[in-house]
Amino acid sequence: MRIGVIGTGYVGLVTGACFAEIGQSVLCGDVDQTKISQLKLGVMPIYEPGLAELVRGNMDAERLDFTSDLAEIARTADVIFIAVGTPQNRDGSADISNILEVSRIIGKEMKGEKIVVTKSTVPVGTSEKIRDTIESLSEFKVHVCSNPEFLREGSAVSDFTNPDRVILGVDNKYAESCLKDLYGSFMKNTEVILVMDLASAEMTKYAANAMLATRISFINSIAAFCKKKNADIQMVRKGIGSDHRIGLDYLNPGVGYGGSCFSKDMKALIKMMSDLDLNPSILLAVEELNEDQKTILFHEVIGRFGNDLTDKKIAIWGLSFKPDTGDMREAPSLATIEALLAHGASVSAHDPRAIKEAKQRFGTRISLCEDQYEVLNDASALVVHTEWDCYRHPDFEKVKSKMREAVVIDGRNLYNSNWLVSQGFEYYSVATSD
Ligand SMILES: NC(=O)c1ccc[n+]([C@@H]2O[C@H](COP(=O)([O-])OP(=O)(O)OC[C@H]3O[C@@H](n4cnc5c(N)ncnc54)[C@H](O)[C@@H]3O)[C@@H](O)[C@H]2O)c1
């Protein structure tokens, strides 16, 4: 079976590399020619643990190749995965123009029967649109499937190869058996392959992201209450999370969710529900709470120093929306930095992987350092945004020696409050009472 993947971002590149790793012949394509030229040289456009080795190893083994000629994929692949971006329209709905553009190329160029599989997150009903588009341009048979992706940035390769479940939305047995064979070849437990109709598969992705986002806003609300009433949110989290009906995942109080998916998919689901005259108020509340949560660290800063930050330098550890990725899309750090700059502060920041993206976003408006201690020079506060491992056990003596004022504002509850205070720090976090 020859596999084509269109879109070589987080989802497409991981999909292509992982299928190549199990011996499939994979051709990946993208409209971004620079990205394709880099990939052909073995240069990764993104950071994802284990991905570079996987891509280079499979290129060397001649199982994985890249092209900017999408027609070549349409002509040569038997199964084509679509993993292009589905960004947000102004009204919140998902923009599926990239999906339809790719469908047109497939329809025009295919020279035989194809299985076309959507990995991108798409509104319910998109599979039919893809099929109609392709069928209007081709005499050959097309089997359109929905196979939404659940990988998480930062652990994308291991999530892809050890998924909790694989959702296969299909409407015919031939496509079902091909995709089951494909996934079955690297999954130990094929019982986690869940076959369903197309609409249910498309909806499963939105429902999953909405559930996870809801848990995050929920625990952040409970954390705010605990802080006011001197209750320990970490104990409350354990107390509720040890109930098997609840569990502990996605119940960490923090600075709100970020990343390219949650907010975009929540808005798309809100729009889909509103269009059907259904009440999306639970989702609206989750989003509203999250927007507020993103500025919680900024409010800690002005709570401590006042509104005028003109003579203050604020150091930030962590810019990416989560650890183990360089991705800053919708990262809460963006809200903090913009608010700090608007109040006159100077900002210096460190991140193990996001410095390049931060430079593109902020230019010279903030200073960026490769050394996590250098950003602290003369800083009045250290704001910890992302829980990278390198921030978990820093040399606090060194931290203190560099700062003008020993103030730590911890958005990820990484440090022991009592110990830090005993070392002469002022400590604020989303979990500890003021
Ligand atoms: N990033 C995640 O963690 C994640 C997880 C699950 C699902 N998803 C969904 O998967 C899809 C892709 O997400 P991503 O994070 O990989 O996006 P991305 O922005 O990293 O990559 C998308 C790629 O598609 C390419 N592209 C856009 N239009 C194209 C076109 N017309 N033809 C060919 N290539 C085109 C872009 O150049 C880019 O390289 C989205 O629908 C997203 O919601 C993302």
Angle, CA 319 vertex, CA 30 and CA 282 arms, to 5°: 80
Residue 434 has what pLDDT?
57
Say what the pLDDT of residue 185 is.
84
Atom 13 of ligand 1, residue of closest alpha carbon: 85
Strands 166-169 and 114-118: unpaired
Cβ atoms within 10 A of the Cβ of 206, count? 22
Determine the distance separating the centroid of ligand 1 and the alpha carbon of 372, expressed in angstroms.
31
Atom of ligand 1 nearest to the CA of 11: 16
Which pLDDT band, with edges at 50, 70 and 90, does 189 fall under? confident
Ligand 1 atom closest to the Cα of residue 12 is 16
pLDDT interval class at 181 (50, 70, 90): very high
Q: Which atom of ligand 1 is nearest to the CA of 101?
A: 31
Q: Compute the distance from residue 87 Cα to the ligand 1 centre, in Å.
A: 9
- Whether the pLDDT of residue 186 is over 60: the answer is yes
- The answer to whether the beta carbons of residues 56 and 21 sit under 8 Å apart is no
CA of 4 to the centre of ligand 1 (A): 15
| 248: phi then psi, degrees, rounded to nearest 5 | -100, -20
Per DSSP, the residues of 301-340 read: HHHHH-S--TT-EEEEE--SSSTT----TT-HHHHHHHHH
Q: Which of 10, 98, 104, 205 to mutate to test the pocket of ligand 1 (most atoms within 8 A of CB)?
A: 10
Ligand 1: distance of its center to the CA of 36 in Å?
14
Across the range 396-423, mean pLDDT stands at 97
| All domains of the chain in start order, with CATH | 2-196 (3.40.50.720), 205-292 (1.10.1040.10), 294-429 (3.40.50.720)
Nearest-CA residue for ligand 1 atom 15 is: 10
Asked whether residue 7 carries a pLDDT value surpassing 70, the answer given is yes
Contact present, 36 and 30 (Cβ < 8 Å): yes
6 CA distance to ligand 1 middle (Å): 9
Predicted local distance difference test score (pLDDT) of residue 97: 98
Phi, psi of 46 (to 5 degrees): -135, 160
Q: Which residue has the tokens 């009045």?
A: 380
How far is the C-alpha of 51 from the C-alpha of 156, rounded, in Å? Answer: 8
Mean pLDDT of the region 157-174? 95
The helix (H) or strand (E) run that includes residue 81 is strand 79-82
**Residue of 6, 30, 101, 146 to test ligand 1 pocket, by largest number of atoms within 8 Å of CB:** 30
For residue 82, the CA-to-ligand 1 centroid distance in Å is 9
Active centre residues (catalytic): 261
Sign of CA dihedral 197, 202, 204, 207: negative
pLDDT recorded at residue 430 = 86
Out of 32-41, 179-188, 290-299, which region has the weakest mean confidence (pLDDT)?
A: 179-188
Rounded-to-10 torsion of CA 192, 195, 197, 198: 70
- Per-residue pLDDT at 10 exceeds 80: yes
What's the mean pLDDT in 355-369?
A: 97
Nearest-CA residue for ligand 1 atom 18 is: 9
What's residue 57's pLDDT?
A: 98
Structure token digits, residue 14: 């991981």
Find the mean pLDDT for residues 132-136: 98
pLDDT per position as a tens digit, 377-404: 999 999 999 999 999 999 999 999 999 9
Ligand 1, residues at Cβ distance < 6 Å: 6-12, 30-32, 35, 70, 83-86, 98, 101-102, 120-121, 149, 151, 153, 260-261
Which atom of ligand 1 is least distant from the CA of 150?
6
Tens of pLDDT, residue by residue over 282-304, are 999 999 999 999 999 999 999 99
Q: What's the pLDDT tens digit per position in 79-97?
A: 999 999 999 999 999 999 9
* pLDDT score recorded for residue 433: 61
